């Protein structure tokens, strides 16, 4: 690999971690001053105890079927790894965001997002993660990740994201 290619990869990694910054919603989201999220650096993605590693390698998000909050086998695999990581790295707490795609009313999607976040929370607790390290929040359809109005985007927007912060409890 050339040095230029390596630099590009590094830039891509940085861009990705910027995307995963829990503060991406500004003061309007759980990243607000009162939301309890430490928004300082995500750390070195090659360091397995860093938030960046969790986000990129363990995987911070799982996807859901239309209107569903049932965890798919793929989601369970990711969440098992999340639980393992959280048990190993006791110094982190998490806010689990639930999101919905734009098909549906604002109110219904808020409730649906909450269901999804709770499904993830319950799974992590069932794997031994202490409940006092986990909180949930729903954004409904307020914060889509992808902006097209097609299933390809909707599928990525029906998600939960486990947003870490330094600190043993939330």
Partner 1 sequence: MKKLARLLALALWGAMAAVTPASAELNLTIDSPTVEPMPIAVAPFVDEGGAGDYAAEIGRLVVADLVGTGLFYEIPAEAHISRISAFDSPVAFADWKAINAQALVVGAVSVSGNQITVKFRAFDVFSEVQVDGAALQFAGTTDGWRRMAHKVADVIYSKITGEGGYFDSRVVFVAESGPKNARLKRLAVMDYDGANVAYLTDSAAIVIAPRFSPTGDRILYTSYESGFPRITLMDVGSLERRSLDEQEGTMTFAPRFSPDGGTVVFSLERGGNTDIYALAVSSGQLTQLTNAPSIETAPSFSPDGSQIVFESDRSGTPQIYVMPASGGEGTRISAGKGRYGTPVWSPRGDYIAFTKQNEGRFHIGVMRTDGAEERLLTASFLDEGPTWAPNGRVLMFTRETSGAGGQTSLWSVDITGRNLKQIVTEGPSSDPAWSPLLP
Contacts with partner 1 by CB under 8 A lie at 24-32, 34-36, 67, 69, 102-108, 110-112, 114-119, 121-122, 135-139, 142-149
CB of 111: closest distance to partner 1 in angstroms? 4
Q: Minimum Å distance from CB 69 to partner 1?
A: 7
Q: CB-wise, 35 or 45, nearer to partner 1?
A: 35
Task: Between 42 and 117, name the residue whose CB sits nearer to partner 1.
Answer: 117
Q: What are the CA-CA distances from residue 43 to residues 8, 88, 93, 133 (Å)?
A: 19, 17, 16, 20
Q: Which is nearer to partner 1, 87 or 125 (CB)?
A: 125
Residues 36 and 64: their CA atoms lie apart, in Å, by: 26
The CA distance from 104 to 109, in Å, is: 6
- Which residues are CB-neighbours of 37 under 8 A, at least 6 positions away? 22, 23, 30, 31, 95, 163, 165
Residue 43: CB minimum distance to partner 1, A: 23
Smallest separation, CB 8 to partner 1 (Å): 24
């Amino acid at each position: 690999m050339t040095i230029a290619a390596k630099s590009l990869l590094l830039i891509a990694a940085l861009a990705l971690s910027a995307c995963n910054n829990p503060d991406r919603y500004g003061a309007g989201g759980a990243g607000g001053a009162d939301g309890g999220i430490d928004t300082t650096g995500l750390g070195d993605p090659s360091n397995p105890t860093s938030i960046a590693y969790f986000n990129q390698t363990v995987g911070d998000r799982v996807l859901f079927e239309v209107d569903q909050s049932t965890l798919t086998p793929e989601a369970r695999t990711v969440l098992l790894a999340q639980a393992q990581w959280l048990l190993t790295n006791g110094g982190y707490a998490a806010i689990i965001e639930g999101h919905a795609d734009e098909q549906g009313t604002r109110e219904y999607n808020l409730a649906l997002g909450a269901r999804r976040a709770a499904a993830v929370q319950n799974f992590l607790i069932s794997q031994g993660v202490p409940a006092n390290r986990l909180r949930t929040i729903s954004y409904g359809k307020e914060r889509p990740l992808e902006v097209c109005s097609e299933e390809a985007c909707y599928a990525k927007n029906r998600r939960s994201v486990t947003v870490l912060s330094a600190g043993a409890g939330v």
